[in-house]
Structure 1
């Protein structure tokens, strides 16, 4: 059995009733349904949009399975899309109904996890790195290694994302670079490394806003980050921070929109997908979150040359320098249990 995530308990929860036609409920990340570009979509399409935000990819399966009929669209990352397919929670896309589909970078369309049996289940939307970040005024010498997040010098002012990917961070510091195929012994070593770090941690952050507030208050000076997003929010507040890729490397991600199986709002759902892959949606997420776009043609039409270059739109091979997230399959539970064990200490 590929998925043994105590799903029987989740499936026992009562399903909620479906939402009204003409209103789409999206389960997604902060910024992906921002009013700066969603309001125009609502006005032009006549489709209302209700957004529920997640703080981790581990939120998608429980929320979706506990709320059958509530959500029409979801936007998980590439390490979670296959799980949604395997659980039977999403349906194949009608790619012919999505304008701009052929303008998506081939690199993203070739990724495992969004296609199965010759059909696509996920529409690549945005991508980037899980970089690291520090407050400029807290370091005389800029950090270059993950070791800075285990340094006594930064005690009480360190933060990590409250996500199983913290196991990936500790594994790399241990020298275990095949982070999506760790053995039980390597996962245990990563867990112990995180337990060793825990007394130095101010707080594990779960949302972009929470991390921004920690930096603004001076409670945190170094952390990992959703590259481009929290740093831009802090810049708006006059807080100088610097993102960096450590010597031990960084993870890469790609988020994809998926249609929930049996949605009664398919017409609005596809209008939404078309908007998100157009200039409106691609530059919408780039301007709000600072993330890179998957439709290079749309991005070039709506970005300045400086923004286009800064977001690696002219260099999608940049993704090859990152450890792009991969589905963990049967190992998912081992990673998640290890992270939960760290937090339980």
Structure 2
């Protein structure tokens, strides 16, 4: 029944697109700046077949990549998919344009926490369509630990020297701050931020490598170079499972961050029609099933998710428990402190 519903959703989407193609409204191309797995052929090829919109994807390894690439100008990109802590900076800089939600009918089906998030709103206008969400848990190779780790202290364990990895992202500061007992990770004072930097500098000799992409972290685990790290929940663990490498994800005693990614339209894109069709596809059953199957992430549109997830999958991904978000430290806009945090993280890497 689930498969039949998904097929119906895809058929309806394709039929709608076919009408628009016939009128010549959508033939074009889209250049998107996004994350690994968000432009998988299993989703993009049916979208192109249905709309005539060719899609080219450039991948980022960190949210810090979006603004510089857009600032370079030249009209290179049409859609970007930043996380909720980086969206407002793009809005303030004028890099993205308001979205006419009347052209995105399923927007109303998105979880209220996401469609009303400060990071995608300004002056009563909507600038992003929430696409996927999840946690930033930690992960370890099961065969390397007699006692399962329960704290992020494990990433500072001298016994694991050379077997530790952290994401090459300012969020490493969030990890260190929590270890220091500072839970106000998005509002760290200069002193607290300096303490987080000190903690990361202390850790650096233990770190095998700061991972930049999902594939890089997977390779580090496969080559037996890394035994413990943070991770994009559900994604790298799934890739490793396919390689018969057993890893375990866990939420540490110090808590975990949460994230939400949104599709945003780059200001003055010449490919607006294709952009809106992409936004609609991304939150349809077709698009949401794609990111679920490829990345293992939770869906922002629970109505669509019910069409392809089993009851157990729906529950396991907390689709039936939006309050789960309250247990996560959902990424927030850092405002004027963004460059301060970014510079702090760069200072760690320059040591």
Q: TM over 0.5: same fold?
A: yes
- Cα deviation digits, residues 66-103 of structure 1 (max 9, x gap): 13311000000000110010000111101011121111
CA contact (8 A) 1:104 1:295 kept: yes
Residue by residue over 1:117-173, the C-alpha shift from the partner in whole angstroms, topping out at 9 and shown as x without a partner, is 111001011000011000000100000001000001111100000000000000000
Q: What is the aligned partner in structure 2 of residue 128 from structure 1?
A: 134
Match of 2:328 in 1: 322
Judging by fraction of residues, say which structure has more helix.
2
The equivalent residue for 1:178 is 184
Q: CA deviation at 1:216?
A: 0.5
- Residue deviations 1:22-56, cap 9 Å, x none? 01000000011100111100101100000000000
Aligned partner of 2:86 in structure 1 is 80
1:234 aligns with 2:240: yes
1:220 is aligned, of 226, 231, 236, to 226
Quote the residue 2:289 is aligned against: 283
Question: After superposition, what is the alpha-carbon deviation per residue over 1:195-240, rounded to whole angstroms, capped at 9, x for unaligned?
Answer: 0000000000000000000001110000000000000000000000
Match of 2:15 in 1: none
CA contact (8 A) 1:21 1:265 kept: no
Match of 2:99 in 1: 93
CA-CA distance at 1:306 after TM superposition:
1.9
Please state if 1:119 is matched with 2:125: yes
Q: What is the CA–CA distance in structure 2 between the aligned matches of 1:52 and 1:21, rounded to whole Å?
A: 21
- Hey, what does 2:3 align to over in structure 1? none
The Cα of 1:304 is off from its aligned counterpart by 1.5
Consecutive unaligned residues of structure 1, counting only runs of 5 or more, are: 1-19
Q: Counterpart of 1:55?
A: 61
1:132–1:222 contact (8 Å) kept in structure 2? yes
Q: Contact (CA 8 Å) 1:214, 1:220: kept in 2 or not?
A: yes
Q: Which residue of 1 aligns with 2:155?
A: 149
SS of the aligned residue for 1:226 comes to: coil
8 Å CA contact 2:27, 2:51 repeated in 1: no
Instruction: Quote the offset at 1:191 in angstroms.
Output: 0.3
CA contact (8 A) 2:107 2:115 kept: no
Contact map agreement 2:138 2:231 (CA 8 A) in 1: yes
Give the structure 1 partner of residue 277 of structure 2.
Answer: 271
The alpha-carbon deviation at position 21 of structure 1 amounts to 7.0
Distance 1:273 1:330 in 2: 29
Q: Secondary structure at the match of 1:33?
A: coil
Normalising by structure 2, report the TM-score: 0.92
| 1:261 aligns to 2:241 (yes or no) | no
Q: Distance in 1 between the 2:322 and 2:133 partners?
A: 10
* CA-atom RMSD in angstroms: 1.0
List runs of 5+ in structure 2 lacking aligned partners: 1-25
C-alpha contact (below 8 Å) 2:78/2:266 kept by paired residues: yes
SS of the residue corresponding to residue 92 of structure 1 reads: coil
- Structure-1 residue corresponding to 2:72: 66
Q: Which residue of 2 aligns with 1:13?
A: none
Matched, 1:296 2:302: yes
Q: Deviations over 1:276-326 (max 9, x none)?
A: 010010110011001000000000011111211111111111111000001
Contact 1:187–1:338 (CA under 8 A) maintained in structure 2: yes
How many Å separate the matches in 1 of 2:111 and 2:258? 16
Aligned residues: 326
* 2:168 aligned with 1:162: yes
- 1:194 aligned residue (187, 197, 200): 200
CA distance in 2, matches of 1:68, 1:113: 25
